[in-house]
Amino acid sequence: MPCPAFSKTLFLKILKSLAAFTLLLLLSTTALHAVPEALLRLDPGGHTAMVSKLLITSDGRLVTASYDKTIRIWNPKNGREERKILGQLGPGYEGMIFAIALSPDGKLLASGGFINSGSNERIRIHDFHSGELLQILKGHEVIVADLAFSPDGRWLASGSGNETVRLWKRSGKRFTKGPVLQGHENHVYAVRLFEDGGRLRVVSASLDHTVRLWDVDSLEELHESFQSLPMFPWMDITVTPLIEHPSKIEHKKQNGEMPPLDD
């Protein structure tokens, strides 16, 4: 028996609806697989892992960085967290923050650590007040262990596990790559910039048991190194100074060898 005309029309409408639904389902499934895996994190209102670095702002705020991949700003008067800056969120160690530095004008916050992108470790530059990520600096091959701004805020220094110190030149809110200082034979875990008689200096400390000093303008290493104590103090070693103080050298030129102190 032939179907009534209205039944054929209804059947075609149902068929079209099923086809459209199937197409939407396929598109949704494809889009779902294309979205990166989301990381869900609960914020307890404080750090959840080791606090690696801290600093004090000019207005008395406390800034802390942690292995939990966050930077938090606190009011020391009441002990409350005022706000936070999120770092790179990734699985495992990825995103752990080992170092932070605030520019002297209080506008920019630099952070570094186990923050990687392929073969490059990254330094993140944030607007300190808004938390906005302004720039990512790439250059070090392994973790960034320490960061420091120059007193005038024009330079940023970074020390890394690849045995180098890298300088970054600031212009406004942007940074460009500067020179790389080489000489250490192990992980560089501390860097500082300071002015000495109108000259900008970089000092760095390393697990090779030395502290090295450079002039930024000439990139000259001012001393071969200052030898420090070993990493493991129970080791049987003999410490021999690598340099003499300039005043002692000048005294020798004028008066000959100094007599022993026990004479």
Task: Give the sheet arrangement for strand 97-102, strand by strand.
Answer: 97-102, 108-117, 120-127, 133-140
Has residue 42 been placed in a domain?
no
pLDDT of residue 190: 94
Mean pLDDT of the chain: 78
Residues 73 and 84 sit within 8 Å (Cβ to Cβ): yes
Has residue 38 been placed in a domain?
no
CATH of the domain at 177: 2.130.10.10
**Section 6-34 average pLDDT:** 58
pLDDT of residue 222: 78
pTM: 0.68
Question: Which range among 189-193, 225-229, 248-252 has the greatest average pLDDT?
Answer: 189-193
Confidence at 91, pLDDT banded by 50, 70, 90: confident
Has residue 26 been placed in a domain?
no
49-90 residue pLDDT tens: 899 999 999 999 999 999 999 999 999 999 999 999 988 777
236-257 residue pLDDT tens: 444 444 455 455 555 555 555 5
pLDDT of residue 25: 59
Has residue 1 been placed in a domain?
no
Has residue 223 been placed in a domain?
yes
Confidence at 43, pLDDT banded by 50, 70, 90: low
pLDDT of residue 155: 96
Task: Give the sheet arrangement for strand 62-66, strand by strand.
Answer: 51-56, 62-66, 70-75, 80-86
Angstrom distance (rounded) from CA 180 to CA 158: 10
pLDDT of residue 238: 42
137-155 residue pLDDT tens: 988 888 899 999 999 999 9
pLDDT of residue 117: 59
Q: How many domains does the chain have?
A: 1
Is the pLDDT at 226 greater than 80, yes or no? no
SS3 (DSSP) at 226: strand
Spell out the residues 6+ positions from residue 192 whose beta carbon is closer than 8 angstroms to its own.
148, 157, 202, 203, 204
Has residue 263 been placed in a domain?
no
Is the pLDDT at 37 greater than 90, yes or no? no
Dihedral of alpha carbons 185, 188, 194, 200, sign = positive
Has residue 36 been placed in a domain?
no
Is the pLDDT at 31 greater than 50, yes or no? no
Residue with the larger pLDDT of the pair 193 and 1 = 193
113-139 residue pLDDT tens: 987 755 566 899 999 999 999 999 988
Q: Which domain holds residue 188?
A: 51-255
CB atoms within 10 A of CB 220: 9
Angstrom distance (rounded) from CA 34 to CA 26: 13
Least confident residue range of 33-42, 76-85, 100-109, 177-186:
33-42
Has residue 145 been placed in a domain?
yes
pLDDT of residue 104: 96
Residue with the larger pLDDT of the pair 261 and 256 = 256
DSSP code of residue 238 = -
